[in-house]
Structure 1
């Protein structure tokens, strides 16, 4: 065979391979995707491996592999795993470049890889790289939407990116602006809610679990909405019943919206076994929920979280909760022991851990005020009020407690729909705390804005939202400011 003939045959072979490169949600790929969103990641890996061997021309396993890494990093929260896996982003983009350019999944799958890594990089503090990847993702999705306007999956990721950039704290907006990126939380949420309904009628209805996962994350962690429990619970009911993610989200949403008994029930029923990925955060969630209910075994779950977790978040906060567990039992020795661990263990990168460190360095909390706070966090508002009803301002010694007392009463009264009493106490907290580093005054102003917005008094709502924004140098500043800015945008 001549050299020329050999090159010609090789050319035909390569042409044939390229011709048959495609994106196919085969039966194996579909099952792998479902396993990923059930957090059965080992089963997903096996199915992806089988698909790659049986259909090496299929580009879908590349995208599914990226989902597996995304969830692993999201759950493990391990910086070392992140550094080890990060190079896979470029190699996957290279593999996807060789796939069928005429498929709507061609640009979409590359955008998904960039989006996954953009979100993960942001989580680990690589903000410039995160913004760059999310911009690439948005550009690819926008191009894909022009080519395939009826490809509904574009909407899922465009909506999420809109929310992410809309929710950025002030100190990161300059990074986003450098890349020409901005977002809108309300637009993104509205698009996700429409998609949750519309996608059921399409051939991509199996993406429903992912859309619900995003909606729960946005509603609870971005909007901090405590009033959508029944709506989110309705969404979650549609997820696969064997899904660990479903049961975990049910518990998470319940815990974050003041439905503590439901949270404990859901987390207790989380499916277990070798098929499922380890989920240490479920122990943190359970320990916190049990502490709010004053259960005697809350310490078991908080200790289990500390022992099993290999990431960087909520370690200080878990130690602080253990300290409070023993303080409530008048065990000052163990209280002091765990307060020391708050100061020496874990990291102060997440807001919860920063707050835990501040509290550990502050005076020992008043027992009744601590109980009221924990009962409130669990949604036990009548019990919370009972702890404080016979208290007076002069009963508290520290500046922190003198401000927290009216603030906590305001929060309790608001959730009991006694808003006149809530606003009186919020105003007291503002007067006492607006020039301190405690978050009570700023959050009281934010809550006042919410109350007046619900009353349709938009002028007063705007006044208090602006007041919350103008307070600087306090705890939870980014979160409170973002919520106040979103409120100000709604009422103006």
Structure 2
């Protein structure tokens, strides 16, 4: 009862702040709030029903096109479908036209246009439309800055500005960064993170509480994938705790961050308990994540989840990577013909829009990894450090035939000792990986230099940290080059260079 009264009070304060009392055609009323809440639980069918009701009751409400864009945005995030993308992207201009004809004195007038542009920019970058994405980021940024001048107390401006600053401040070299630099657009990752952290902390205490889940969605993403923050797990679990367990988006955020931060058993538990049913949007990527989590603990039954992903997925991403993982399962079973078949699929099916699939193609083109190195890699990714160490502890680099495997052996032990807090051993193995693999196309040497920089940074040895980060940047023509270079440049900034 208290909770219900609280929500009603929030709604009325919101209504007084911006919608119908002052701005008749930007009305975040009950239908719209219910639609918005359903979107962020990934109940997109319910959201469409609320939007349809609102269209009948208040056809001129310009919050409608914004909500419709949210539905398209999450449809594309969950499906990853290029067909859906090509079909839905034509909706953008009509929605902007509808909003553009409305009340210019509303804080939602520029904000809604910025949100639509930003959402399409984020989606376009997934499908390689970098120039158009850059144009939309530029537009969104300008609209939000203008809106912040007009309405400095409208907290929602900071959601987009925080995201743009964080992503642009750590954008790897490539087509999108090149396009944005043409327009002179730069960001600052630390500024963006501070903005989003403040919002996540303060929004529940404000009249903008209904927008909390969206802020946490973006904040968890940038902490994990953009800033590679050591606080990503703690902050994501903290800020998602107050989100209802009926939210499939909560399950996604928590499990994704747990997998990325080596809290593997927790990820498995979260995915096993995720809400299910016909009201939720189909999200095949969660099967892919579940496969990753099970394989990280060397559960070869992970193939069930990977196969389910391939059967239900309509998208273009993670096809190569899934086949690579199925190949690894075959390899660990001793099924050489199965391994060859899946590696052929990893090479010849799917696309290379994202880094995972690019790397999968690279690995599929390389010789098969030794079983002990593969097991150690998977166990390390899952956070099972002692088990990973046991596999390699009685071996040495000379036991392996190729320079690639010798380098990976040193790199893997460096990562394991690093995470166990044994800095001296970690540094020794990182240096061995750099010495052995500096001229190879594989990422081991460059990432060893990056991680070495982080160890020295932790020790407050800024000179050595600078040297290691610069070493990582100096290595070229290897896997993950843009990402490693961006992280090394952020490291240099942190240590004052």
Please classify the TM superposition score into its range, dividing by the shorter chain length: over 0.9
Aligned equivalents of 1:231 and 1:119: distance in 2? Answer: 23
Aligned to 1:277: 281
Equivalent-residue separation in structure 2 for 1:207 and 1:349 (angstroms): 30
Structural mapping, 1:285-324, within 5 Å: 285-324=289-328
Aligned to 2:8: none
State the match for 1:187 in structure 2. 191
2:141 to 135, 138, 141: 138
Partner of 2:13: none
1:20 Cα offset (Å): 7.2
Aligned pairs for 1:194-233 within 5 A: 194-233=198-237
TM-score, normalisation: structure 2: 0.93
Q: 2:168 aligns with which of 145, 149, 165?
A: 165
Contact 2:232 2:257 (8 Å CA) reproduced:
no
Task: Say whether the 8 Å CA contact 1:20–1:57 is kept in structure 2.
Answer: no
Matched, 1:100 2:98: no
1:119-139 residue CA offsets vs partner (Å, 9 max, x unmatched):
111221111111111111111
Query: For residue 356 of structure 1, what is the aligned residue in structure 2?
Result: 360
Q: Which has the greater radius of gyration?
A: 1
Q: Is residue 373–residue 384 contact of structure 1 (8 Å, CA) maintained in 2?
A: yes
1:171 to partner: Cα distance: 2.3
Q: Kindly indicate whether the alpha-carbon contact (under 8 Å) linking 1:413 and 1:422 is maintained by their aligned counterparts in 2.
A: yes
Q: Is 1:58 aligned to 2:78, yes or no?
A: no
Distance 1:359 1:147 in 2: 52
Deviates more, 1:424-433 or 1:161-170: 161-170
In 2 relative to 1, CA 486–20 (structure 1 residues): closer, same or farther, beyond 3 Å?
A: closer
Asked if 1:381 corresponds to 2:369, the answer is no
Between 73-82 and 255-264, the greater mean CA deviation after superposition: 73-82
- Which residue is equivalent to 1:403? 407
SS of structure 2 residue aligned to 1:328: helix
Alignment partner of 1:326 out of 327, 330, 338: 330
SS in structure 2 at match of 1:180? coil
Deviates most, 171-180 or 264-273: 171-180
Asked if the contact 1:48–1:64 (Cα under 8 Å) also holds between the matched residues in 2, the reply is yes
> TM-score if structure 1 supplies the norm length?
0.94
Counterpart of 2:267 in structure 1 is 263
Q: Aligned runs of 1:1-40 on 2, under 5 Å?
A: 21-40=24-43
1:297 partner SS: helix
- The separation in 1 between residues aligned to 2:400 and 2:422, in whole angstroms, is 24
Any conservation in 2 of the 1:225–1:257 contact (CA below 8 Å)? no
Aligned-residue offset at 1:158: 0.6
Unaligned 5+ segments in structure 2 are 1-21
In 2, distance between residues paired with 1:268 and 1:491?
41
Q: Deviations over 1:251-275 (max 9, x none)?
A: 1111110011000110111111110
For residues 85-138 of structure 1, give each alpha carbon's deviation from its aligned partner in whole angstroms, at most 9, with x where no partner exists. Answer: 111111111000122211111111111111111111122111111111111111
Distance apart, 1:21 and its partner CA: 4.3
Structure 1 residues 109 and 370 mapped into 2: Cα distance closer, same or farther (>3 Å)? Answer: same
**Count of matched residue pairs:** 475
1:408-419 alignment, distance < 5 Å: 408-419=412-423
Are 1:226 and 1:258, in contact at CA under 8 Å, matched by a contact in 2?
no
407-416 or 334-343, larger mean C-alpha shift: 334-343
Q: Which stretches in structure 1 are left out of the alignment for 5+ residues?
A: 1-18
Q: Report how far residue 226 of structure 1 moved.
A: 4.4
How big is each residue's C-alpha offset from its partner over 1:416-455, in whole Å with a ceiling of 9 and x where there is no partner? 0011100000000001111111100100000011111111
Q: Equivalent residues in 2 for 1:339-488 (5 A)? A: 339-488=343-492
- Conservation of the 8 A alpha-carbon contact between 1:21 and 1:99: no
Paired with 1:110 and 1:330, the residues of 2 have a C-alpha distance of 55
- Most deviating of 351-360 and 408-417: 351-360
Q: CA deviation at 1:249?
A: 1.1
Structure 1 distance, partners of 2:58, 2:215, is: 28
Residue 170 of structure 1 aligns to a residue whose secondary structure is coil
